């Protein structure tokens, strides 16, 4: 942790950078002063291919000055821009500020286009070819990394093409999720359920709710212990969208399927996060994207 709180690396980078530039100047100066051992004819004595001799002539002045100008330019650049450890440079330039300025410029240029879409309902956007094309680009750039290019998700990342929604699949809920993000949490419940046998029994009861393969005897015993889970998932196991708790009666398993996966979930819990998109996308972009996402599960 000390690597991130001390200024060692800033000093190290500064020292290495300045040492390298000064060393280049010294090397250039010494090479201009030093004289190699030469023969009477101003050659080094090296001969190739019988008559190809190496001369001991100095570098052309223009070439030497190019080296000097390059080094001087390096010093000026490091004084104006960040490059010496934690020094910010006289101009105060940062890549983050430049990125923000470029994003703002792009958003202003696209504002007239998005103005038309903002006036439309997300449901209508899902049918508009131009809005769908823009929504697809937004999805590929910001959502596909987790949900996949086909939006079908994977283990730990929800499938956006079905009708299974933890927090609700309306356009308003999708827009809320994109804007504010989500943090889903299943706390470890093993201590509340009871013994490891009780946990296994509850796991089989949960499997029985969706008609999945299970041990019917264990499921019958685990039904009473499910009361601990019912506080979030409901007495019928269908989940509560207000809490974002999963529906256990369908056959959709976000974090893994089978007895072992459910036991691990009860024992260890799980925290999942959908990152906030509000600072990354404009309201108009989120509006178009919510229509695109809604359209994938409402074809």
Q: What is the pLDDT of residues 166-200, one digit of tens each?
A: 999 999 999 999 999 999 999 999 999 999 999 99
- Residue 2: per-residue pLDDT: 53
Model pLDDT for residues 210-245, shown as the tens digit of each residue: 999 999 999 999 999 999 999 999 999 999 999 999
Q: Which of 215, 295, 293, 291 is nearest to 258 (CA)?
A: 215
- Residue 1: per-residue pLDDT: 46
- Residue 174: per-residue pLDDT: 97
Higher pLDDT, 253 or 1: 253
87, burial (CB in 10 Å: exposed 0-12, middle 13-18, buried 19+) = middle
- Residue 50: per-residue pLDDT: 78
Decide if pLDDT at 34 tops 80.
no
Torsion-angle region of 227 (φ positive above 0: left; ψ -120 to 50: alpha; else: beta): alpha
The CATH fold assigned to 185-274 is Cytochrome Bc1 Complex; Chain D, domain 2 (1.10.760)
- Residue 42: per-residue pLDDT: 73
pLDDT band at 29 (very low <50, low <70, confident <90, very high): confident
Average pLDDT of 86-92? 89
Average pLDDT of 146-163? 94
The pair of structure tokens assigned to 38 is 């030469």
- CA–CA gap between residue 281 and residue 98 (Å, rounded): 17
Q: Are 190 and 267 in contact (CB under 8 A)?
A: yes
- CA–CA gap between residue 237 and residue 257 (Å, rounded): 16
Tell me how far apart the terminal alpha carbons of the chain are, to the nearest angstrom: 50
- Residue 61: per-residue pLDDT: 86
Which CATH architecture best describes the domain 114-181+275-296?
A: Orthogonal Bundle (1.10)
- CA–CA gap between residue 135 and residue 296 (Å, rounded): 11
Decide if pLDDT at 209 tops 90.
yes
- Residue 37: per-residue pLDDT: 62
Q: What are phi and psi of 46, to 5 degrees?
A: -85, 130
Contacts of 158 (CB under 8 A, 6+ apart): 147, 164, 166, 254
- Residue 283: per-residue pLDDT: 94
- CA–CA gap between residue 119 and residue 137 (Å, rounded): 20
Percent residues over pLDDT 90 in the chain: 75
- CA–CA gap between residue 143 and residue 176 (Å, rounded): 15
pLDDT band at 35 (very low <50, low <70, confident <90, very high): low
Give this prediction's pTM: 0.73
- Residue 216: per-residue pLDDT: 96
pLDDT averaged over every residue in the chain: 91
Higher pLDDT, 279 or 194: 194
Q: Are 153 and 202 in contact (CB under 8 A)?
A: no
- Residue 86: per-residue pLDDT: 84
């Amino acid at each position: 942790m000390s690597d991130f709180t001390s200024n060692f690396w800033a000093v190290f980078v500064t020292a290495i950078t300045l040492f390298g530039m000064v060393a280049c100047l010294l090397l250039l100066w010494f090479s201009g002063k030093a004289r190699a051992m030469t023969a009477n004819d101003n050659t080094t004595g090296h001969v190739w291919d019988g008559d190809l001799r190496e001369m001991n002539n100095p570098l052309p002045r223009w070439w030497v000055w190019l080296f000097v100008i390059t080094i001087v330019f390096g010093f000026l650049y490091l004084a104006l821009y960040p490059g010496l450890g934690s020094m910010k440079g006289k101009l105060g330039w940062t890549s983050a500020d430049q990125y923000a300025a470029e994003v703002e410029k792009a958003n202003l240029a696209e504002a007239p286009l998005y103005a038309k879409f903002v006036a439309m309902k997300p449901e209508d956007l899902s049918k508009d070819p131009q809005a769908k094309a823009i929504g697809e680009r937004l999805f590929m750039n910001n959502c596909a990394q987790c949900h996949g290019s086909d939006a079908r998700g994977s283990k730990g990342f929800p499938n956006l093409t079905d009708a299974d929604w933890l927090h609700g699949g309306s356009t308003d809920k999708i827009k809320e999720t994109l804007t504010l993000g989500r943090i889903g949490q299943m706390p470890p419940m093993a201590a509340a359920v009871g013994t490891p046998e009780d946990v296994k029994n509850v796991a089989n009861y949960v499997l029985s709710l969706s008609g999945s393969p299970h041990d019917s005897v264990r499921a019958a015993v685990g039904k009473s212990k499910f009361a601990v889970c019912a506080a979030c998932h409901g007495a019928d196991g269908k989940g509560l969208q207000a809490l974002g708790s999963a529906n256990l009666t369908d056959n959709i398993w976000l974090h893994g399927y089978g007895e072992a996966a459910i036991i691990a979930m009860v024992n260890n819990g799980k925290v999942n996060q959908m990152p906030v998109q509000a600072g990354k996308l404009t309201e108009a972009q989120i509006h178009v994207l919510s229509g695109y996402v809604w359209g994938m599960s409402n074809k």
